[in-house]
A and B are shown apart, each in its own frame.
Chain A
Amino acid sequence: MLPEIGHFSLILALNLCVLLSVFPFIGSVKGDVVLMSLARPLTVGVFVFVALAYVSLTAAFATDDFSVLYVAEHSNTLLPERYKLTAVWGGHEGSFLLWIFMLSGWMLAVAHFSRSVPLDFLARVLSILGMLSVGYLLFLLATSNPFDRVVPLAPADGADLNSALQDFGFIVHPPTLYMGYVGFSVVFAFAMAALLSGRLDSAWARWCRPWANVAWAILTLGLCLGSWWAYYELGWGGWWAWDPVENPPLITWLLGTALVHSLAVSEKRGAFKSWTVMLSILAFAGSLLGTFITRSGLLTSIHAFASDPERGIFILGILVLSIGGGLLLYAVRSPLLKGGVGFELSSREMFLLTNNVLLVVAAASVLLGTLFPMIFQALTGKLISIGPPYFNAIFIPLMIPLIFFMAVGPLSMWKSTSVRSMVTRLGRVAMISLVLGIGLPLVITLEFDFWSIAGVGFALWISLSMISDFGNKIRKKSNIVEGVRGLSLSYYGMQLAHIGVAVMVAGISLTSSYSIEKSVLLQSGESTDLGEFNFEIGAARSVSGKNFSGQEVSINVSKDDIFLTELLPQRRVYFASGTPSTEMAIDAGFLRDLFVTLGEQKENGAWSMTLYVKPFVRWIWLGALFMVFGGLVSAADKRYRYLQESVDKNKKSLATYSSGKTADVGV
């Protein structure tokens, strides 16, 4: 019964979306306030029914309703409760329902928080989001209904959730990633509404900016969680693999980063408008492309049977209609976006433009590398692989100038900034970063390593210039407290995000340069050294869980004969699928991770295992977290709230006025 309710709610939600995409839109064209004000209640309705569908599917998982095909394929009676609830997004159908659920959540948020936005504009935004939802819901209902039944032959126990997905990382990674992805639909809708209404001014950028910042921050978090999950779950210590499924979120992130910066110029200076709109379309296209690539089976190789060209065609259709429509609208309306203000070669605008060009070129290059094998095969019939060695060779050279300008941009002035003043302000920073960048790694390790020097140097370059700028700004005020309070939240947000980049750059370069690993075959009681650490193998014992059994080996790690920690790597076999799996043991630390992967036990009782010491690997995710907070903090800037408050006040005064209590207004 419940799955049918879910199915029916989806159909209802689809109908409401159709209404949402038609009536408020007509209202906004005709200036009909009644039709326009339908947008909010319809959005609430869509959210309610999509949520109901989502809850029904979750309930089917919670109650082991294997008569639902999707549940039978992705769950199992033995699966622990929390994984039953998260197995909802363990496959294509459910994860797409989650996607739609997220979108309806964003729509609800837009309806609720955009009080400051004029009604006709809001009606357009919600209408466009409604159109997108129509496409997604049709796709779900027509090609991938998660509520399909297998009534005659319901399996007793279900299949199983891939053991790699039975994990905390899996609980948090996909929802966060989708949340970020879908957020760019909101930005896209704002851009489309602006093109339709011809109202593309600083006010528009101001409405749009907090949404873009939040979407960007959440996408950053999603990528960070994905990288962290891959690191501890997949077991070879890698944190980024340049996988065709990982690349689209990165492409979207790069475009989103460009967008966040370009929006700043549009808001503050009214410049780059048409470029900003273009980036909104591109970032959204990146998010759709990500869906397309993961769900159509376009870029998987053999032994992946889940591909389905029918779904691919459908998503391609959505892509053509939404992005094609967006670009068409752009082509027709972009003459409206002329104007703006001038700036000189040495100006903040120019530095931000350079940043944008580099980010977009990086995104395009990653896209090229991701899709090239497919294009190559279509043209020549031959298969090739493109992997980390290629991407690193292309990506890193593009990031270096970007990082260089990252220190220059925030210190420069809008419109025109004198080169001489920049040199005097940054000269000392450059000197210190150069000296410490070369000195620190050299003194500590007594080895010359180019990448660690570059990493430390650039990290210092970014963070020192930030600190110097911060100091300058505070010194202008009468006292420190006043100075600290005088700076806006969006300034602090930018600082945080940029320092996040510095932390990440240091983490990436140091962990790439100084990680060491060693594969050994050891019996209980034996020990081995790796770097400055000693690993001593203890006893093995069997372990078991609700849906697996396996073995665990105790490893005592010490440094200079002082006991540090006990690591307990496992090998598991999951009952339902018979899949073996390795559970890494990680001792996480601010300065280094110790990491053990357990192999097989040989005939003589010895265990094969790989030991890793990974210095500064946590800094990669720490930096990403800084960026996330930076994005959120700057979205919370009071100038976005202020607009809303003033509108609220206007409304109140309007209300009091209309009810005749005019005397109270002049307070």
Chain B
Amino acid sequence: MNFYKIWLRNISVFFLICSSFVSFAVVAQVDTFQFDKAENQERFRNLSNELRCPMCQNTSLSGSSGGVAEDLRREIYLMIKEGQTDREIKDFMFERYGDFIFYKPRLTVGTIFLWVGPAFFLLIGGCVGFSVFRSAQSLTLKNKTLTDSDQNKIESLLTREEQNLKIKGKTS
């Protein structure tokens, strides 16, 4: 009766195993590319940190053991060795994998909101904060005496509480 369902489940278990193999980059990758200049080594590191391993759940090329990641790192290494610039290498990747490969999205009409967004949030936050301050200030002006006496009351209550505590502490 439910055999199809069970089969489906078994298949999905099967996939889970495969996918855990692919997506969990537990096998840390070790490349032993040799660069003639320390500066190129640094470029290699930056590029493989900024580019995403396309097949992985969310890892940079440098952090992944996936097949494509390995190939792409080798490709970066060869291109650096050939003397290509970072720009050229990134364009090469873009032609094949699109925007998906960049961890820092290129600035386009669509992605501009990524940069405007936080500034916009800050603006809203500033406005909210300012309005809270304004209403508080009007309170200060209106009920200054009342507030002060309230404050005194609160403080005297608090000190009494503290004293009570101390007395308790001493007696016990």
Instruction: Please list the residues of chain A having a beta carbon within 8 angstroms of any beta carbon in chain B.
Output: 69, 72-73, 150, 152-153, 159-160, 162-164, 233-236, 238, 241, 243-245, 271-272, 275, 300-306, 340-345, 349-350, 353-354, 356-358, 360-361, 364-365, 368-369, 372, 376, 379-380, 382-390, 393-394, 398, 415, 519-521, 577, 579-582, 584, 597-600, 608-610, 638-639, 642
* B99: contacting residue among A245, A304, A385, A581, CB under 8 A: A385
Q: Given the known A-B contacts A69-B9, A303-B19, A384-B102, are A376 and B27 also in contact in the complex, defined by CB atoms under 8 Å?
A: no
* Contact indicator A341/B151 (Cβ below 8 Å): yes
At the interface, yes or no: B78 with Cβ under 8 Å from chain A? no
Contacts of B117 in A (CB 8 A): 365, 368
Instruction: Compute how far the CA of A474 lies from the CA of B44 in the bound complex, rounded to whole angstroms.
Output: 54
A-B CB contact pairs (8 Å), 6 listed: A153-B6, A163-B26, A243-B58, A305-B16, A388-B60, A519-B33
Residue of B with least CB distance to A360: B125
Q: Given the known A-B contacts A150-B6, A385-B103, are A341 and B23 also in contact in the complex, defined by CB atoms under 8 Å?
A: no
* Contact indicator A341/B147 (Cβ below 8 Å): yes
Instruction: Compute how far the CA of A244 lies from the CA of B17 in the bound complex, rounded to whole angstroms.
Output: 22
Instruction: Compute how far the CA of A300 lies from the CA of B129 in the bound complex, rounded to whole angstroms.
Output: 36
Contacts of A305 in B (CB 8 A): 12, 15-16, 19
Segment 105-148 of B: residues with Cβ below 8 Å from A? 105, 110-111, 113-114, 117-118, 121-122, 125-126, 128-129, 132-133, 136-141, 143-144, 147
Q: Given the known A-B contacts A353-B132, A394-B118, A608-B30, are A579 and B103 also in contact in the complex, defined by CB atoms under 8 Å?
A: no
Contacts of A582 in B (CB 8 A): 26-28
Instruction: Compute how far the CA of A304 lies from the CA of B57 in the bound complex, rounded to whole angstroms.
Output: 7
At the interface, yes or no: B170 with Cβ under 8 Å from chain A? no
* Contact indicator B100/A398 (Cβ below 8 Å): no
* Contact indicator B132/A272 (Cβ below 8 Å): yes
What would 18 more interface pairs be, CB under 8 Å, given A341-B140, A342-B136, A384-B105? A73-B13, A164-B26, A234-B28, A238-B63, A243-B58, A300-B57, A303-B57, A305-B12, A306-B16, A341-B139, A343-B133, A382-B98, A398-B118, A519-B33, A577-B20, A579-B21, A581-B27, A599-B29
* Contact indicator A350/B133 (Cβ below 8 Å): yes
* Contact indicator A389/B50 (Cβ below 8 Å): yes
Instruction: Compute how far the CA of A383 lies from the CA of B52 in the bound complex, rounded to whole angstroms.
Output: 12
At the interface, yes or no: B31 with Cβ under 8 Å from chain A? yes
Q: Given the known A-B contacts A384-B105, A387-B60, A609-B30, are A342 and B140 also in contact in the complex, defined by CB atoms under 8 Å?
A: yes
At the interface, yes or no: B49 with Cβ under 8 Å from chain A? yes
Residue of A with least CB distance to B52: A385
* B121: contacting residue among A365, A380, A521, CB under 8 A: A365
* Contact indicator A385/B137 (Cβ below 8 Å): no
* A387: contacting residue among B20, B103, B113, CB under 8 A: B103
* A383: contacting residue among B55, B99, B104, B111, CB under 8 A: B99
